[in-house]
Amino acid sequence: MTFSTPLSEVLGVGPSFSQKLKKLGIANVRDLLFYFPRTYVDFSRITKISDIKEGGTYCVKGELTNLKKTQTFKKRFSLTSAILKDATGSLRIVWFSQPYLAEYFTNGDVVLVAGKVTRDKDGIAFVNPSHEKDRSSLTHVGRIIPVYPETRGLSSRWLRTIIKRVLATISEIPETLPESIVREKRFLPVKQALWQIHFPNSMESADTAAKRFAFEELFYILLFVLAERKKIAEVKAPAIPFDPPLMKRLTNSLPFQLTDSQKKAAWVILKDLEKPRPMNRLLQGDVGSGKTIVATMAALGAMKAGLQVAFLSPTEILAKQHFKTVSEILQKFKVTIGLLTGSADRFVSPKLPNDVIEISRARLLKKTLEGDIDILIGTHALIEDKVKFENLGLLVVDEQHRFGIKQRAKLLRRSVLIPHLLSMTATPIPRTLALTLYGDLDLTLIKELPEGRKKIITKVVPPSARKSAYGFIAKQVQKGRQVFVICPRIERTEHTAEGEDIKTVKEEYEKLSKEVFPDLRVGMLHGKLSSREKEEVMKKFRQGKTDILVSTSVVEVGVDIPNAAVMMIEGADRFGLAQLHQFRGRVGRAEHQSYCLLFAESNSPNARARLKALEQLDSGFELAEQDLKIRGPGDFAGTKQWGIPDFAMTQLTNLELVQETRDAATKILDEDIALKKYPLLKQKIQELRAKLHLE
C-alpha cells in the first residue's frame, strides 16, 4: 500500500464507501491520511459508575450483563439494552436501531462505553454511547478520539477504523519537507505526526502534530506563490519611462487635489513601470479613495511611451463608468479610448474629445490591432482570442486581483514582452492573506479619503423601526437626495424554502413603488436585464430622474452616484463584511451627509457581531480583519473557491505561522529555485499548480 493506492483496494472500503469518500474529496490513501479531524473528544479518563451524575459525559469500563434485543411496537424500531457493572455499581445502556450489537456482544464481555448519561422513565442510562470491547489497542473509547467532518453514510467511527487500519498497514510515508526544516523546527517525522494527529496520546501531541501539518500546507502554497513571483521577475516587460512634467500637467488639469496617499501610490507605480520586468502590483484602497485616477496616471505614462493599455472591469456597468471617467480625465491629452462590451462598442477620438462614437466590433478590433486605440476598456471580453493588440504595455484590472500571468499571456499575442499588471481592489486584504494567497503581488495602499468626505452614519435597524426608516428615506428624497435599496435575490425560485423571509428585488420594487412610496420615482436593476436596459436604468438614476433604485449586488463595485445619500440593505446578514462595506461606499461620495441602514433576517451571534462591526468601524482594513476573525478565511472573499485544502485555510489567520512559513519558503527558493534537490517537493508544487485557482 502506498499514498497513491486507490481506496477501493483498501480492506473494508469497497465501491459504495469509495463513492461516499469521493464526495469528501478523498480518492486515495494520501487523501485519507490527510483528512484531518475537526475536533477531539477526550474519553481517556475512566470514571467509576458510583461517580456518574445525570447530564455528564463519561467513559466507563465494566462487564456487560442482561444483554437483550427487543422490538418496539409503536415506532417499530429495534432496541438493544444491557446492564454495565463495575466494582462500584451498575448502569443501564440503551442502543436504538443497532440490533447487530446483540450478536456482537455477549454477556460477560468487558467493554468500554462513552457518551452522555441522560434520564428516561426508567432512570438514568447511557443512550447510544460509543463502545468497544476491552483490548490492548482502543480506537473509539478509552482514549482521545478524533471527530471528522462527516457526510451521509460516513461516520467518524467508520473513518477512525479505516484510517487506523491504513496507518498500521502502510509501509512507507515519504517525507516531503526538507530535512533541514524538520530538524530546525523540531517537527515530528511525518508518520509519527500522522499517528498523533489522528490518534493522539495527549492533546499536546495533537497540537504538535497539527502545527507541523499547518506549516507544511502553508509551506507548499507559499513555495508555489513565491516561485510564481520569481518567474515573473525573470521575464521581460517594456520599460516605461517616468515623465514628471506629463504627470504634473495631468494633476494640474484635475478639478481636485490628489491626497498624499494617492501621490505616494502613483509615485511607487510609475517608478515600478520603469523597470524592464513586469510590474505585478495590487493597488488597495478603501471605497472612494481615488484608485481610478492613480491607474489613469499609469495608463497615460504607458500611452505616451508608445504602448497600449487594456483596462478590465468586472461588470459592464463599471466598464462604461470607467470609459466615461477616463475619457473625461484624459480629454486634453490626445488619447484614443475604446470601449468593448457585450452591447454597443464605442470609442473617443482625440479629434473629437467630447464625442462618443459608436462603432462595430470588427472596426474596433481592427483599430486595436493596428495600434489606433491607446486605451481599451471592457469586461472579460478583452481576453477573447479575437482581441489583439499591436503593442500592449499595461494591463489594469479592477476588482479581479487574481488575474494572473496566463491571462496576461493571452492578451500578449505576438509580442515577446509581458505587459505590466496593475490590479485594483476596494476589498481590503488582511495581512495574512496578503502574505500567502496574494504573495506574488506587490501591495500599494491608499489609506486616506479625499477631503470633504463625511463619515457615513451606519445603523442596524430592528424590524419594529422599519416604518420610521421609510419615513426617514422619504425626508431624504424631499431634500433632493437619492436612495439605493439592495436585496439579496432577484426573485423567488423553486429552491426558496417555504416560509423563508427573503427580500427580492422584484417584490420590493412592487411594494416600494405601489405601497410605501407611491409618489416617488422607483427604479429596478438586476442581472437579468439586458445591457441596454441596465444602461438606461443607471442613466436615469445618474441624471436624478429616479429617486430610489432597488437593486441586487450588481451595484457593489464602483458605481458612482454623488447625489445618493442613503444605502438601505435588506438581508444584510446574508452578505460578508467586505461586501457590505462596498455597498456602503456607493453613498457618501459628495458633500452630503450619508447613511447606511442595515436590515437583518438572522439574529445569530455571528450575524450580530458582523453588523455591529460595520456600525462601529469605518476603515475597510479594520473591517477585513474582523471579517476574517468572524467568518474565517474559507468564506472571506470567496477563498473556498481557490482549491486550497480546508486545513490550510484555517491557518490563514495565524500571522506568526504565515510569516515563519514564508521565511522558510523564501530561503529554500533562494538556494534552489528549480527545487532540484527536492524532487518530492517539486512534485507537490506541480500537483498544487493543477489544483490551485490563484489565476
Q: Is the pLDDT of residue 403 over 50?
A: yes
- How far apart (Å, rounded) are the C-alpha atoms in residues 213 and 220? 11
Highest mean pLDDT among 169-178, 440-449, 461-470, 646-655: 461-470
Question: Which three-class secondary structure state does DSSP give residue 660?
Answer: helix
pLDDT of residue 664: 93
Report, as an integer, the average pLDDT of 336-346: 80
Q: Between 639 and 632, whose confidence is greater?
A: 632
Of residues 632 and 477, the one with the higher pLDDT is: 477
CB neighbours (10 Å) of residue 204? Answer: 10
Q: Indicate whether 638 pLDDT > 60.
A: no
Percentage of residues of the chain with pLDDT beyond 90:
41
Q: Determine the pLDDT at residue 99.
A: 85
Three-state DSSP string of 270-323: HHHCCCCCCCEEEEEECCCCCHHHHHHHHHHHHHHCCCEEEEECCCHHHHHHHH
Residue 435 cell numbers, joined: 502574505
Q: How far apart are CA 310 and CA 484, in angstroms?
A: 31
pLDDT tier, 637 (very low <50, low <70, confident <90, very high otherwise): very low
User: How confident is the model over 561-588, as pLDDT tens digits?
Assistant: 889 999 999 999 888 787 888 888 888 8
CA–CA dist 645, 88 (Å, integer): 48
Q: For Cα atoms 250, 253, 254, give the angle at the middle one, nearest 5 degrees.
A: 95
Answer for the pair 579, 552: CB distance below 8 angstroms, yes or no: no
- Give Cβ neighbours of residue 518 (< 8 Å, ≥ 6 apart): none
Whole-number pLDDT of residue 498: 47
In order of their start, the domains of the chain are: 1-41+143-173 (1.10.150), 45-141 (2.40.50.140), 244-274+290-425 (3.40.50.300), 457-492+501-617 (3.40.50.300)
Alpha-carbon distance 391 to 454, whole Å? 43
How many residues are given for the chain? 695
The CA-based angle 415-416-418, given to 5 degrees, is 85
Does residue 131 contact residue 112 with C-beta atoms inside 8 Å?
yes
Rounded average pLDDT over 250-270: 93
Q: Are 510 and 548 in contact (CB under 8 A)?
A: no
- Position 424 pLDDT exceeds 50: yes
What was the pLDDT predicted at 406? Answer: 61
Q: What tens digit of pLDDT does each residue of 290-319 get?
A: 899 999 999 999 999 999 999 988 888 888
Mean pLDDT within 1-6: 83
pLDDT-derived band at 416 (thresholds 50, 70, 90) equals: low
Q: Could you give the 3-state DSSP secondary structure of residue 203?
A: helix
Q: What confidence score (pLDDT) does residue 693 get?
A: 52
pLDDT of residue 641: 46
Which helix (H) or strand (E) segment holds residue 160: the answer is helix 156-169
Residue 564's closest CA among 543, 589, 582?
Answer: 589
The pTM is what?
0.72
Residue 92 banded pLDDT, cuts 50, 70, 90: very high
Tell me the pLDDT of the chain averaged across its residues. Answer: 85
pLDDT of residue 596: 94
404-411 average pLDDT score:
60
In three-state secondary structure terms, 170 is coil
Contacts of 550 (CB under 8 A, 6+ apart): 485, 487, 505, 508, 509, 512, 522, 523, 524, 525
Report the amino acid identity of residue 579: Q
**Confidence band of 458 (pLDDT split at 50, 70, 90):** very high
Cα 236 to Cα 570: distance, rounded to the nearest angstrom: 49
pLDDT digits (tens, 9 = 90+) for 8-23: 888 888 788 888 888 8
Checking DSSP bridges between strand 457-460 and strand 595-598, what pairing results, if any? parallel
Report pLDDT for 207.
92
Q: What integer is the mean pLDDT of 51-71?
A: 91
φ, ψ dihedrals at 282, nearest 5° = -105, 120
Average pLDDT over residues 621-648: 63
Q: If you average pLDDT over residues 413-430, what whole number do you get?
A: 76
> Does the pLDDT of residue 499 top 60, yes or no?
no
Average pLDDT estimate for 667-694: 82
Summarize pLDDT for 196-251 with one digit per residue, the tens.
Answer: 999 999 999 999 999 999 899 889 988 988 888 888 788 889 999 999 999 999 99
